[in-house]
Structure 1
Amino acid sequence: MTTTVGRDPRRETLPAVPGTARVSPGHRVVVVGGGIAGLAAATGLAERGVDVDVVERRPYLGGRVGGWTVPLPDGSRTGMSRGFHAFFRQYYNLRALLARAESRTGSPLLHPVADYPLVDAHGRLDSFRALPRTPPWNALAFALRSPTFGASALLRVAARQALPLTDVRVPDVYAALDHLDAATFLDRVRFPEAARHLAFDVFSRSFFAPPDRFSAAELAVMFHLYFLGSAEGLVFDVPDRPFHTLWEPLGAYLADHGVRLRTGVAVERIDSGPDGFDVHAGGATTRADALVLATDVPGLRRLVAASPELGPPPWRERIAGLGSAPPFCVLRAWLDRPVDATRPAFLATGGRPPLDNVSVLDRYDADAAAWARRTGGSVVEVHAYAVADGDEPAVRRETERRLWQRLREVYPETRTARAVAEHSVWDADCPLFAPGSFGARPGVTTPVPGVVLAGDGIRVDLPVALMERAATTGWLAANHLLAGWGTAGHELVTVPRRGRNRALRALAARYRTRPGEGGRVAGEHVPV
């Protein structure tokens, strides 16, 4: 199946390795993890005739982009999730996965958000509305019309230090910048303090890490993916259905292809032998010819530690050394009165710790909108992406109190609102892309024949991030196993893998070749 996505004429298609249309009978794969990465891998395998089991410890599909229901005081149940997710239009491989679900529903799952404003501590507002789509004019127009940036600040930027942002190539950018943290890099670039809270800090914290613990190379990849590398535009789409129903059509699609979906079941350990693998989960053992380990980072660490026969010691040490980002908090409240009608669906904030953004769910979520119509209230959500103080009970209480305080500052009409219901989510299961960590990050392929990895914490030498990295590694995991069986894989699509402007590329090349600049990246190259 080939799905055409995107409007950027320079987007790149990575052709699938050729082979037979379907795998020979008898190949069975267990996919551990039913998040985006696991679902992409299962789709890629099942469409080629592989016998697939998906085992997910949560009681629902979607992983960290899944959802569940919670009770409300009136006796009804409503959707809850881990917070807002932006489906950018350059998430080509994720959208190819969702296209399979849409083939079941007959209608689009995603709908556009008109804008996602950014507001700083002084109330200055930046907007992505009506910007040009084509780089570099998109980033230039954003900077020039920004009240926190402007032409004078643009002239003060250290141009030579900023050149790596204009020609991002993976993994080359990691050799140049992975030894730096994002905050230090922005200091070197002389990026305006006020503007960095919006244009960069907001995005780095969306990776669930503060800028001083986030790799400058990852920041550069982010800048390329969302700004200078893509002509898909700077706005995004969101699902209009709650996340606890978002993945149901894809689950039905997989079931149609013979995939067995087991949710609410954790894999305890994996035993390996000369003829395959025994996967122990929920009191049952499943025999598999191959495995896709598509868990989150803590889950991957636990599973490998509990499976002493799986992999050689150096690889196991790399898995054990994977870092997790600080805890995050999502606080959702069902208010007894509406927020102002002009409030956007999503607002990013800078310089207002611990608040990182505010979502008004009844602007886009059908479940929340129905509740708001029924009660005359509104459903509001606030996020703290990276709580550096931890998640002890006292820290949780104080963080949630301050989130409420910040919400009332940003949206003053909520000062008199009463929360009819309130639910919060705390977790610390996102990958940490710390400075210097890229070389040790495990890739899709492993030293264990028949075992591949997938997920947003897995290395892949393409300019992808977040949900798109999860989807891309899932497709790559499936492709690697299929290639081993002589079966055709699936094509991938990516934003251009180098800077779009020839003159800027030439200048960036001179910067990269200066002696003494940058560092060195170790570790395997993951072929695509």
Structure 2
Amino acid sequence: MRRDRKAVRTPGPVGRPTCDRDVVVVGGGIAGLAAATVLAERGARVVLCEREDHLGGRVGGWGTTLADGSRATMTRGFHAFFRQYYNLRSLLARIDPDGAALTGLPDYPLWHAGGHREGFAGLPRSAPWNAAAFLARSPAFEWRDLASVDTRAALPLLDVSVPRTYEELDWLDAAGYLDRVRFPRAAHALAFEVFSRSFFAHPGRMSAAELATMFHIYFLGSSEGLLFDVAADPFPVALWEPLARYLTARNATIRTGAPVLRVDRGERFTVHLPDAVLEADAVVLALDVAGLRRVVADSGLGTAAWREDIGGLETAPPFLVSRYWLDRPVRPDRPGFLGTTGYDLLDNVSVLDRYEREAREWAARTGGSVVELHGYALPADVDPDAARTRLLDQLRVVYPETRDARVVDSRHELRADCPLFPPGGFARRPTVRTPVDGLVLAGDLVRVDLPVALMERAATTGFAAANHLLAGWGVAGVDLWTVPTAGRGPVLRALARRFGRNPYVDRPVARSA
């Protein structure tokens, strides 16, 4: 696996090669699978409990039968596997050492309803040359626009470091920060709002520090670029069924359809399921926000302050995934993935038969196409039927050839279970370590003081949770890898530290070494 030459290694714990412990991992998403994998590799007797009937969490999938009798796999939507997802890719390398399960898309195109179009193919991979090249070819940006940019407010983007950036910017919201930076409106919408909405939240409800960190991960801090890979088969076939086999070959037990009701702590942990009670030396809670709140509240574990922080975690607004099996193809030049802004509720369009084998076979057999639509950060009182209609209407605007297409079948997922990272929330965000010895957390809602996000945060915290337990038992763990943990180049860092200012107060930003 290729890595940025400036990627940073966080060494795992050292010690004995194996352990003799019983561990229950609660949650079979990426974080739980990552933790279970490392622990099982070290000889722990792992029982992984997942409430759904499938693994993968928000990257899971399940079978369905279409109106034409075809079997298909429905998921909760498109996921981009960026090249800087080092820990997630390390997890997947266990079952896919050659990387055949993922396939690259040639570009990350972005369209604005006003007519501006951007892409990231062909850009230099490192800052500042990638940013300069992007601006030079962007139809939304003119060099005279630089005069209006508040460069001192923008400079902190050049020297992002976790957790320092959160200490400086977490109390601000992303929308207010971007307004203060004064990027041209079209560039603002294309290059920033599209990214922030990938966190399923409006920029006004998202921490400015989270946005700055994301910009560092995907653009200014990494040489991996903004191009990405996608799963060449549906997620269960490509990823989770092989990983389940890998785990069971290492004596792990996987229980799907097994929600955990509560966890008690005595001499050992007692994990209560509807039909069983499990005893364990350690427990990994790798749950979504609602699941973690419920289990912690029903278990009474930890301190009152810690339980209060868990209870205060928020979820992002609802998002809608609509997948359509159409009776005719979209135009051959349509990309596999398109990010959009300004098209009502529509945030992106995927043409699955461009890259996923199952969809491609269905399209070849029927002469049709498989198209998926995403709408993020929907109004809380959204009417599901109205939202579906609005997404489909905008597909017909973006890809006019779909106006006459007949819908062979459709599936829709309206969910509201992604974590929200609001301004001021970082200090109270739970960490991998908890007040209870032997109990650890993992997931993309969990704080880890490294520059990671989304699926990579889930994988990283899963590895970190396993490492924490293994270190306590004197057992060797795994190394963690990330993009650079500070601004990419010394000149850029020096500029940011010398001239950068907090965008909301007229005083220099306090910076640590």
TM-score scaled by structure 2? 0.96
Query: How far apart, in 2, do the equivalents of 1:78 and 1:145 lie?
Result: 41
Q: Which residue of 2 aligns with 1:382?
A: 373
Checking the alignment, whether the CA contact within 8 Å between 2:81 and 2:229 is kept in structure 1 is: yes
Q: Which residue of 1 aligns with 2:488?
A: 500
CA drift at 1:76: 2.2
SS of residue paired to 2:49 = strand
Residues 1:94 and 2:101 are matched in the alignment: no
Pair 1:518–1:292, CA change in 2 (3 A): farther
Q: Which residue of 2 aligns with 1:260?
A: 253
Query: How far apart, in 2, do the equivalents of 1:410 and 1:365 lie?
Result: 22
Residues 1:50 and 2:44 are matched in the alignment: yes
CA drift at 1:107: 5.8
Checking the alignment, whether the CA contact within 8 Å between 1:222 and 1:465 is kept in structure 2 is: yes
Equivalent position to 1:488, from 468, 472, 476? 476
**1:211 partner amino acid:** P
Equivalent position to 1:366, from 351, 357, 374? 357
SS of residue paired to 2:93 = helix
SS of residue paired to 1:52 = strand
Equivalent position to 2:172, from 173, 180, 195? 180
CA drift at 1:176: 1.2
Checking the alignment, whether the CA contact within 8 Å between 2:13 and 2:470 is kept in structure 1 is: no
1:424-435 equivalences under 5 Å are: 424-435=412-423
1:185-334 equivalences under 5 Å are: 185-245=177-237, 246-273=239-266, 275-308=267-300, 310-334=301-325
Checking the alignment, whether the CA contact within 8 Å between 1:29 and 1:52 is kept in structure 2 is: yes
Checking the alignment, whether the CA contact within 8 Å between 2:152 and 2:501 is kept in structure 1 is: no
The total of aligned residue pairs comes to 508
Checking the alignment, whether the CA contact within 8 Å between 1:178 and 1:519 is kept in structure 2 is: no
CA drift at 1:516: 6.6
Query: How far apart, in 2, do the equivalents of 1:29 and 1:123 lie?
Result: 54
Query: How far apart, in 2, do the equivalents of 1:390 and 1:49 lie?
Result: 48
Query: How far apart, in 1, do the equivalents of 2:59 and 2:306 lie?
Result: 28
Deviations 1:352-383 (A, max 9, x none): 22000000000011110010000000000100
1:64-75 equivalences under 5 Å are: 64-75=58-69
SS of residue paired to 2:283 = strand
Of 74-83 and 479-488, the range deviating more from structure 2: 74-83
Q: Which residue of 2 aligns with 1:524?
A: none
Checking the alignment, whether the CA contact within 8 Å between 2:108 and 2:226 is kept in structure 1 is: no
Query: How far apart, in 1, do the equivalents of 2:205 and 2:407 lie?
Result: 35
CA drift at 1:272: 1.2
CA drift at 1:244: 2.8
SS of residue paired to 1:351 = strand
**2:258 partner amino acid:** V
Checking the alignment, whether the CA contact within 8 Å between 2:83 and 2:224 is kept in structure 1 is: yes
CA drift at 1:151: 2.1
Query: How far apart, in 2, do the equivalents of 1:520 and 1:296 lie?
Result: 34
CA drift at 1:520: 10
SS of residue paired to 1:356 = strand
Checking the alignment, whether the CA contact within 8 Å between 1:179 and 1:519 is kept in structure 2 is: no
Q: Which residue of 2 aligns with 1:525?
A: none
1:118-137 equivalences under 5 Å are: 118-137=110-129
Q: Which residue of 1 aligns with 2:7?
A: 11
Equivalent position to 1:84, from 48, 70, 78? 78
Deviations 1:447-506 (A, max 9, x none): 100000000000010000000000000000000000000001100111000001212212
Query: How far apart, in 1, do the equivalents of 2:435 and 2:105 lie?
Result: 43
Deviations 1:125-179 (A, max 9, x none): 1011111112221122112211112322234311100011000000000111111
SS of residue paired to 2:95 = helix
Q: Which residue of 2 aligns with 1:402?
A: 390
TM-score scaled by structure 1? 0.94
SS of residue paired to 2:346 = coil
SS of residue paired to 1:30 = strand
* Structure 1 runs not aligned, ≥5 long: 522-528
CA drift at 1:517: 5.1
Checking the alignment, whether the CA contact within 8 Å between 1:87 and 1:238 is kept in structure 2 is: yes
What is the RMSD of the two structures over their aligned residues, measured on CA atoms? Answer: 1.6
CA drift at 1:384: 0.4
Q: Which residue of 2 aligns with 1:453?
A: 441
